[in-house]
Amino acid sequence: METFTVSKEFVESNRYAQDRLDTLAALDLASIDEPIKDIISGFATLPHCFPIQSCVGHFICAQNKDTHTLDPIPTGYTDSVRYRIAYLAVCIENSPRGHTLRQSLAEIPAIDPTCVQFGSADWFWDRWVNSYTLQVEPMSYMNKDEAILDLTEALHIQKTRDLFFEELRKLLSVELGAGLNVRKG
């Protein structure tokens, strides 16, 4: 069974409001990787979206056995790298603002289509319809949560991952600004 699939179309659901309340009530920002807490907090403030799960992505080198390390690949390192996937999973309301957000998220893979995918994940969709996932993973590993990469590919993924999160920050800035404009008008 494939877990990461092409993005699914929106479906009608009367569970969104309750699912959002329940999920945000259980959100523990202390458990979020420090470098992306601002992103998760930002998505949590959007009324037409809520974060489900995320990971900053971890680059584990031979000398570092910590699978949750936030360290970049060390300068001068020459061996292969175990990469644990960077991703963001969100549930989006089936509404005009939700459709706009989904379209904006679907455009993020343009930063590097060989390493960034937008889609759905069956295990999230089964619990939260209208859930979508963005991930940074080489295409050959897109259905796995980790990969062993040669140094050149790992450095490329690290750069792409950082750009990916910057693009999410820019998108959030636009989304939060649009929400302010709606309230003012």
CATH number of the domain encompassing residue 126: 3.30.1960
| Mean pLDDT on 34-42 | 97
Give the chain's domain count.
1
131 φ/ψ sector (left φ>0, alpha ψ -120 to 50, else beta): beta
pLDDT at residue 3, as a whole number: 62
pLDDT tens digits along 5-23: 889 999 999 999 999 999 9
Q: Which of 142-146, 151-155, 175-179 has the highest mean pLDDT?
A: 151-155
CA dist., res. 130 & res. 48, Å (int) = 11
Q: Is the pLDDT of residue 154 over 50?
A: yes
Q: Is there a contact between 87 and 54 (Cβ–Cβ < 8 Å)?
A: yes
* Domain residue limits at 53: 4-184
CA dist., res. 80 & res. 148, Å (int) = 7
